[in-house]
Amino acid sequence: MDISILSIDKKNNSLTLTQKTDDIKRNFEKLGHNLASVKKVSFNPTKIRKAVDAVASGDTKPDMILIADALTATDSSCFRKNFAETVASAERAENEPVPKDYWKKRNKAYKEAKKRKASQSELDELDDEFRMFRKKSRIFNLGDFGNGYRGYCFMYKGIKVGVLPWASLAGESIEDVITLAARRVIEVFERSAHDYPDGFSNREFVPEKTGFANRFIPLPGDKPKEVGRKLIVIAAFLTFLAAVGFLAYNMIYLSMQNSQLNGEIQKIAHRTEQKSDNPDNEEVDDSIDWDELKKINEDIVGWIQIEDTKIDYPVLWNKDDNRNYQFYLSHNYKGGYDSYGSIFVDYRCTEGTDSKNLVLHGHHMNDGSMFGDLMNYGGTSGNLDFYKKAPTIEFDTPDGDGTYKIISVFKTNTLSGHGEFFNYMIGNFQNEKDFMNYVYNVKIRSLINCPVDVNEDDQLLTLSTCSYEFTNFRTVVVARKVRDGESAKVDTSQASLNKNAVWPNVYYSVYGGTRPTVTDFCTAYEADQIDWYTGDYDFKDQEVQDTSNSGTSSTSGSGSGSSGSGSGSGGSSGSSGSGSGSSSRQSSASMVIYHTVTFINYDGSTISTQQVEDGKAATAPADPVKPSDEYYDYIFKGWELEYDKVKYDMSIAPIFEPQLKPEYQNGG
């Protein structure tokens, strides 16, 4: 028997097979074999396959190929990883391709059989006629060569191929491993000659279907399981089409409809007057046509515009709104149902556009319409470039036009699990001190240090929309009205990013850092922490009455009011309490607050659940274990969130680092 040897060439294999050729020849001669050739091959699946094929396709084909020093694992993983390509090539060589017209002939035969109402025996004969078989390579185990390292063999184009473990790992000399392998390969194929005479088993298979009808349309002759699969695919496809249609309806049709609808009222609102004696027909007035707007809807109380955005809309106020229902959250300015809604006044602003702080809501639409463009001012950090382009807001009413300078852009939560709720939706205040506490709170939360001063005599405009830095978050832009005689220009060169902006607690749990200390306006002002105030500061002794709802004061004893439900796209999020929205502090002797902390495993299952007192540390369970897979072990590295000072309900998952198994490192 002629035997060729392929020697895996590894950099860390100091003893080459060629140095042992004479010993191997002598051993083979004792067994009646002949060493036909010895060749080196790189340890690469494709190069191994090509080397085996070259030997098998040569003029003098050997009876056996032994691939030495090829396996570095005690299990079959190394063989499967590096020789699957060669085994697949062996199977391709043994199998004839499926006739191109297989499915055409098969479908035609079954269609004719169904038409003539063939008997079951005839259908069984058709099944046999079109039944296809494919040869599957048999991989035989050559047993242990030492220290648990095994070898394997299979047939390749009529040649027996043995794949051997690395001799040094088996603790044997390479010539002994090769000699033993030659004997075992012959024995294995002799034992299996009856069941697998050519080294392959025959397995029935269904050829891959070609053409749309064969793959997806139920046809005569299809098995019930195949019909079920096709029906599932059809149902999934129809569902997909419905989803695409729904998406197109919402993203394209509704967007175009909304653009057209708002375009109509924008043309009416911005209709310009022209002087008849102006030969150039020059536009001389661009004021809002309130008479025409009021004819459309009496609820139109204002018009808002922001430069370099799509924000150019009427503002509506339904005086019957309440905490549970805001009409224009889901209706357009004509009063018709519309998922885009309108820009509308918060129900807490009981004095309408004369409120000390006029709070407006608008949806965050994906096409940037309504209040979607408020996101241009920043995400998890401020967008200073955009702020410099649009540092002011135009808000006009029938009583007069107004320009508002932005003083804050901040993000806040609505879910109690994300930390205390800051109630920014306050229309009127108890007194000047209450108002300045509110201004203090929006300023310390701002992502941008806006170079605009504020005092107790100012009037504010607050814009709110949904955002998604965290679940059910809000993006809020606050501006104060330009005073009489004041320039409307903002020196944006003095603006900067606020690297110490106050966020809800969830931000620090995810991104790290320490939440800045929040006091109140008077405390911060007297500590020289405020440089934007220009008032008289004659309200220090004013009292701000505590109420049951969250308000403007954010001292260490302040309570967080429970946030109510809001629109998924930018509607108002209510807080518990009265509409006045004044400040509140819970008593220092209030009840103890507990939070639920759940530690979950890698698969989402619960490891432990515990109630933790506010501000205290949770107790971590024993380190979880993630099972290894074929290629990786998983090392536990810790938990995703910090739990030393729990301030809200938490679900904490483990962090696992994948580590490649030793046998797959360095090409092994």
Q: Provide the total of helices (H) and of strands (E) in the chain, helices listed first.
A: 15, 25
Domain boundary among 527, 553, 574: 527
- Given a cut of 80, whether residue 207 has pLDDT beyond it is no
DSSP 8-state symbol, 619: P
CA 559 and chain centroid, separation: 34
Q: What is the pLDDT of residues 622-652, one digit of tens each?
A: 999 999 887 788 899 999 888 988 887 888 8
Task: Find where tokens 């004719």 sit.
Answer: 112
Question: What's the pLDDT score for residue 547?
Answer: 54
Give the integer Cα–Cα distance in Å for 647 and 418. 8
8 Å CB contact between 645 and 615: yes
Instruction: Based on the fold, state whether residues 221 and 200 are members of the same structural domain.
Output: no
Return the CATH number at 652: 2.60.40
- The two tokens of residue 657 are 């680092």
Question: What's the pLDDT score for residue 409?
Answer: 98
Residue spans of beta strands (DSSP E) within 538-643: 594-600, 606-613, 632-639
The runs of H, that is alpha helices, within 374-456 are: 384-389, 432-445
8 Å CB contact between 317 and 352: yes
CA 486 and chain centroid, separation: 47
**Percent of the chain surpassing pLDDT 70:** 87
- Given a cut of 70, whether residue 551 has pLDDT beyond it is no
Instruction: Based on the fold, state whether residues 342 and 359 are members of the same structural domain.
Output: yes
Domain boundary among 527, 542, 571: 527
Question: What's the pLDDT score for residue 309?
Answer: 94
Q: What is the pLDDT of residues 355-390, one digit of tens each?
A: 999 999 999 988 888 999 999 999 999 999 999 999
- The two tokens of residue 90 are 């062996």
Range of the domain at 238: 212-258
Please compute the mean of the pLDDT values over residues 91-103 and round it to a whole number.
84
Could you count the other beta carbons within 10 Å of the beta carbon of residue 186? 18
- The two tokens of residue 455 are 């005092």
Instruction: Based on the fold, state whether residues 338 and 430 are members of the same structural domain.
Output: yes
Please compute the mean of the pLDDT values over residues 126-138 and round it to a whole number.
88
| Residue 336 placed within a domain | yes
**Beta strand pairing status for 273-274 and 200-205?**
unpaired
Return the CATH number at 390: 2.40.260.10
- Given a cut of 70, whether residue 256 has pLDDT beyond it is yes
Instruction: Based on the fold, state whether residues 184 and 227 are members of the same structural domain.
Output: no
| Residue 577 placed within a domain | no
Domain boundary among 527, 548, 570: 527
The amino acid that residue 370 corresponds to is M
- Closest C-alpha to 284, from 294, 297, 270, 274: 274
Least confident of 204-208, 412-416, 475-479, 532-536: 204-208
How many Å is the Cα radius of gyration of the chain? Answer: 39
pTM of the model: 0.53
| Residue 54 placed within a domain | yes
Give the integer Cα–Cα distance in Å for 371 and 453. 25
- Identify the three-state secondary structure at position 657: strand
Instruction: Based on the fold, state whether residues 335 and 366 are members of the same structural domain.
Output: yes
Question: What's the pLDDT score for residue 582?
Answer: 36
Instruction: Based on the fold, state whether residues 163 and 223 are members of the same structural domain.
Output: no
- The two tokens of residue 239 are 């569902």
| Residue 346 placed within a domain | yes
DSSP 8-state symbol, 527: T
| Residue 458 placed within a domain | yes
- Given a cut of 60, whether residue 587 has pLDDT beyond it is no
Position 501 confidence tier, pLDDT thresholds 50, 70, 90:
very high
| Residue 582 placed within a domain | no
Please compute the mean of the pLDDT values over residues 38-43 and round it to a whole number.
90
Please compute the mean of the pLDDT values over residues 259-270 and round it to a whole number.
85
Instruction: Based on the fold, state whether residues 433 and 365 are members of the same structural domain.
Output: yes
The total domain count for the chain is 4
Instruction: Based on the fold, state whether residues 464 and 344 are members of the same structural domain.
Output: yes
Question: What's the pLDDT score for residue 33?
Answer: 94
Instruction: Based on the fold, state whether residues 222 and 187 are members of the same structural domain.
Output: no
| Torsion angle (degrees, nearest 10) of CA 289, 292, 296, 300 | 30
- Give the 3-state DSSP-derived string for 118-185, with helices as H, strands as E and coil as C: CCHHHHHHHHHHCCEEEEEECCEEEEECCCCCEEEEEEECCEEEEEEECHHHHCCCHHHHHHHHHHHH
77's CB contacts (< 8 A; 6+ apart) are 630, 631, 661, 663, 664
Residue with the larger pLDDT of the pair 525 and 665 = 525
| Partners of 140 in the β-ladder | 153
| Residue 420 placed within a domain | yes
Instruction: Based on the fold, state whether residues 431 and 522 are members of the same structural domain.
Output: yes
- Given a cut of 80, whether residue 21 has pLDDT beyond it is yes
Determine the length of the chain.
Answer: 668
Instruction: Based on the fold, state whether residues 186 and 69 are members of the same structural domain.
Output: yes
| Residue 404 placed within a domain | yes
Instruction: Based on the fold, state whether residues 380 and 485 are members of the same structural domain.
Output: yes
